[in-house]
Structure 1
Amino acid sequence: MQIAVVGAGIIGISTAHALAQEGHQVTLVERHPGPGEGTSYANGGQLSYSYVAPLAGPGVLSHVPGWLLRGDSPLRLKPSLDPALLRWGLRFIAACNRDRADRTTRELLALSFYSRARMEALREVSPDLAFSFARRGKLVVHREAAAFESARAQVGYQATLGCEQHALSADETVAHEPALASVRDRIVGAIYTPDEDVADCHQLCVGLFNRLRAMPNVMLRFNTGVDALWTEGRRVRGLKLADGEQIAADAVVMAAGVTSARLLSPLRIDPGLYPLKGYSISLPLGEGDVAPVISVTDAARKIVYARIGQTLRVAGMADLVGWSTALDTRRAQTLYDETRALFPGAMRANDAGADAAPWAGMRPATPTGVPVIGASPVEGLWLNVGHGALGFTLALGSAGLLTDLIAGRKPAISPVPYALAA
């Protein structure tokens, strides 16, 4: 089958790789010059297979007013009459309840566990694939007793779904990660997950790109914008490119992050996407820096810390500010300031912040946090979108699920939770 895949971030390139391995003739189309240069470029670096609790949790709405009044808050909202934001916001509010959050957790865990299995299989058959992978575990650090008790309850629930997690005291937390010693008196405890990983998402995109480039059944089209989907009636025929060229295909996979919304809108297909802008800084570690080895998430600040090789990647924020990709340097500065407060020993080589490499990316989020993977109302048009902050974690599982659906096989996990809502 001739299949065109739109988007070469971690979702699109994983999908193209899985389809090409099946023997399909794959054309991968990407507007950037290289793979993984959008949202996949400098994300948090954590492969959080067990930590998938949705943003739309039962207690999140009570925090929103306080967050909106703080300049350094983890959530920022720019008031707008954008219909897409209004629709997304109403659906998000409707999802902020315990039943929906538990259901979302079950659905995301099924996909994340499948993705972890596929990641392990990829690493086993491709030991030369270098992307700074390391299994170091993860600590979700809590500063507030009430939030910690809620997290302990979530651990109990997720244990029934196969997750191995442990609640640690403040002293036990510091014993696991000595880099937290200077803030021992400011934390009440942490949730520890031993089998979480870190890696460089962009490096994996490049590695998969190099494999695709060597495959005779793959055509790579970079620096190539897609103007529209080419359809006849309710059947996809391929892609219409920005330069007027058309690419014929038996099937098209939309995996272009937030850009997918623009391309799907003329066909009246709404997967419920809206960009959650996130930020990161990447701090090179020098000799003598005391940086965390275990991945750390600051639960109160919604900031993640991942040691990728000799770099400390710090990422966070969720800005609902429209579709602009512009970098707000104040948000990047907040990440820098929070790092200095939590890990002062990691800042010796970066005290001026000159090497922090600030970056912003547009996470393609659905209101519930569950991605949309599967068929669309247009015959031959398939979707793999809406992974939010979990794109790296869920990429390989999403690619495997969609490849099975396109082939007409029974997938390894149920596709029902990820189907496009009617």
Structure 2
Amino acid sequence: MHVVVLGAGVVGVTTAWYLQAQGHQVTVVDRQSLSGLETSYANGGQISVSHAEPWANPSAPLKVLKWLFQQDAPLLFRPRLDPYQWRWALSFLAQCTSAKAAHNIRQMVNLGTYSRSRLQALRQEANLDYDHLEKGILHFYTNPAEFDAALEPARIMRDQGCDRQVIDAERAVQLEPALTPIRRRIAGATFTADDESGDARMFTQALAHRCEQAGVTFLYGTDVLDFDRAGDRILGVQVLRAGKHQTLRADSYVLSLGSFSAILARRIGLFLNIYPAKGYSITVPVKNQDAAFNVSLTDDEYKLVYSRLGDRIRVAGTAELNGYSRDLNYTRCRAIVRRAAEVMPEAGQWDQAEFWTGLRPTTPSNVPYIGKSHFTNLYLNTGHGTLGWTHSCGSAAALADIVDGRRPDVDFTFSGL
């Protein structure tokens, strides 16, 4: 069967890989000149099953109100005259109950654990190098209330098989000596030894090369405009390539356009409750090898993640719900630099920070759309929010099974099933 995958980010490329591995002819379409140049370009770099607590939780509404007019807030909601933003926000509030948060944690842990195992197998099979480290992820807390609030989600994760262990400040510094400068301020921490880190863009581009070697066709510089459809079936995809309008035809189609999936889906009457959450990152050279970290870190109070990528340090996080603009807010950029320099002053060349921003395709629950749409030959693999890198391989492997009519081997509520 010929399958067209729309989107060449980490989710689209992994989808192409697993589909071709199961014998399908695959074409990947993307508007950029290479794979991994949008949201996958400079993300936080974590394969973080332990980062499964959704933004929508009982403490979120008051925090969002408190942060509403704070330019450097970890989560910034900027109200717009946008009905889709408000619909998303109301759905987000509906997810902020203890029961729904616990359900969503279970969904994301199950998918994350499955995805991490698929990534590890794929890394060996395709011989991929992407500055990955298998040193675990350490969540640290400098606010005692934030640490106390993390204990119940950590327990739920452990019950689902994610071994997120609660540790004290002394153990945290033993595991990662780079935290020594703030040792006295650490209220507590958790550590998940099985989690990993790595450069998502390097991974995506290396895997795209392997896909091409296996026969996958990539159509770069191609804008996806609309679908041709008849009844409940997609007949083709209208694109603009090299200044010419074309229609690409296949047997089936996979929608993996990140935040832009929702816009395209609306053209055929398909509502996906996805809204862009603009995230930021900085990348700096390592300054002092002895002061730099190797264990990937999560600063939950400030919603920041730290990953060591060879001789570079990546710090990423925060979220701004402000439409589809990708303009840099330098107040937010400087806030990341300031916090990173406070935590590990000698680790990186903080004055040489390269700033980046990207749009995370976020659902109110943080649970992605994976599976069949109500069109018989249109499949969804989108809406992964902050966990696209973490969930990419599992989502793609599961979707390939669904395309072939098999039930995926993971406990997750798939779309259309």
Inter-partner Cα distance in structure 2 for 1:123 and 1:244: 38
Inter-partner Cα distance in structure 1 for 2:162 and 2:374: 36
Inter-partner Cα distance in structure 2 for 1:387 and 1:3: 21
Q: Taking every aligned residue pair, what percent have the same amino acid on both sides?
A: 37
More divergent stretch after superposition (19-28 vs 87-96): 19-28
Query: What do the CA deviations read for 1:68-93 (whole angstroms, capped 9, x no partner)?
Result: 23222101122212011010000000
> SS state of the match for residue 269, structure 1?
coil
8 Å CA contact retained: 2:281, 2:355: yes
> SS state of the match for residue 18, structure 1?
helix
Structure 1 residue aligned with 2:358, among 339, 361, 383?
361
> SS state of the match for residue 87, structure 1?
helix
More divergent stretch after superposition (151-160 vs 26-35): 151-160
8 Å CA contact retained: 2:256, 2:380: yes
**Count of aligned pairs between the two proteins:** 414
The 5-angstrom pairing of residues 17-416 of structure 1 reads 17-126=17-126, 128-216=127-215, 218-242=216-240, 243-288=244-289, 290-347=291-348, 350-351=349-350, 353-354=351-352, 356-415=353-412
TM score, norm. by length of structure 1: 0.95
Inter-partner Cα distance in structure 2 for 1:378 and 1:20: 22
8 Å CA contact retained: 1:132, 1:308: yes
> Cα offset for 1:339?
0.8
> Cα offset for 1:135?
0.6
> Cα offset for 1:358?
0.5
Runs (4+) off by over 6 Å: none
Inter-partner Cα distance in structure 1 for 2:153 and 2:330: 34
Inter-partner Cα distance in structure 2 for 1:220 and 1:329: 35
- In the alignment, which residue of structure 2 is the partner of 1:419? 415
8 Å CA contact retained: 1:72, 1:334: yes
> SS state of the match for residue 346, structure 1?
coil
Query: What do the CA deviations read for 1:273-328 (whole angstroms, capped 9, x no partner)?
Result: 00000000111113456112111111111111111111110001110011112222
Inter-partner Cα distance in structure 1 for 2:406 and 2:153: 34
8 Å CA contact retained: 1:372, 1:420: no
> SS state of the match for residue 238, structure 2?
strand
> Cα offset for 1:50?
2.7
Inter-partner Cα distance in structure 1 for 2:217 and 2:306: 37
Inter-partner Cα distance in structure 2 for 1:289 and 1:161: 36
Inter-partner Cα distance in structure 2 for 1:420 and 1:320: 28
Inter-partner Cα distance in structure 2 for 1:287 and 1:172: 23
Query: What do the CA deviations read for 1:374-396 (whole angstroms, capped 9, x no partner)?
Result: 11111201110100000000000
> SS state of the match for residue 301, structure 2?
coil
Query: What do the CA deviations read for 1:81-128 (whole angstroms, capped 9, x no partner)?
Result: 2011010000000000110011001111111111011112112223x3
Inter-partner Cα distance in structure 2 for 1:150 and 1:338: 21
8 Å CA contact retained: 1:4, 1:238: no
8 Å CA contact retained: 1:271, 1:420: no
8 Å CA contact retained: 2:287, 2:346: no
| Structural RMSD (CA) | 1.4
8 Å CA contact retained: 1:374, 1:420: yes
Inter-partner Cα distance in structure 2 for 1:258 and 1:409: 28
Structure 1 residues 414 and 174, CA gap change in structure 2 (3 angstroms) = closer
Amino acid in structure 2 at the alignment position of 1:44: G
> SS state of the match for residue 240, structure 1?
strand
8 Å CA contact retained: 1:10, 1:201: yes
Query: What do the CA deviations read for 1:203-248 (whole angstroms, capped 9, x no partner)?
Result: 11111111121123x2210000011112122211121112311111
Inter-partner Cα distance in structure 2 for 1:367 and 1:228: 25
> Cα offset for 1:52?
0.9
More divergent stretch after superposition (147-156 vs 330-339): 147-156
